[in-house]
Amino acid sequence: MTSPQTTVVDVVVLTMNDRPAECQRALASLLAQQDVELRVVIVGNGVEPDHVPANAHAVALPVNVGIPEGRNVGADALGDPGGEFVFFLDNDAVLPTPDILARLVAEARSHPDAAYIQPRIADPDTGVTLRRWVPRLRAGDATRPGIITVMAEGVVLVRRADYEQAGGWPGHFFLFHEGIDLSWRLWDLGRTGWYAPGIVIHHPATDPARHAGYYRLVARNRVWLAYRRLPVLLIPIYLTVWTLLSLARIRSRTNLAVWGVGLWEGLQGGHGQRRPMSWTTVLRLARAGRPPIV
Query: CA 291, CA 136: separation in Å to the nearest integer?
Result: 11
Supply the pLDDT for residue 212: 65
Instruction: Taking residues 269-279, report their average pLDDT.
Output: 96
Supply the pLDDT for residue 294: 83
Supply the pLDDT for residue 1: 42
Per-residue pLDDT for 8 more than 80? Answer: yes
pLDDT (tens digit, 9 = 90+) per residue, 28-42?
Answer: 999 999 999 999 999
Model pTM?
0.94
Supply the pLDDT for residue 2: 46
Domains, the chain:
8-206 (3.90.550.10), 211-276 (no CATH)
- Residue 113 CA, chain-centre distance (Å), reads 19
Instruction: Taking residues 80-91, report their average pLDDT.
Output: 94
Cβ neighbours of 38 (radius 10 Å): 18
pLDDT (tens digit, 9 = 90+) per residue, 197-212?
Answer: 999 999 998 877 766 6
pLDDT (tens digit, 9 = 90+) per residue, 91-131?
Answer: 999 999 999 999 999 999 999 999 999 999 999 999 999 99
Query: CA 73, CA 14: separation in Å to the nearest integer?
Result: 10
pLDDT (tens digit, 9 = 90+) per residue, 153-189?
Answer: 999 999 999 999 999 999 999 999 999 999 999 999 9
Q: Is 5 left (phi over 0), alpha (psi -120 to 50) or beta?
A: alpha
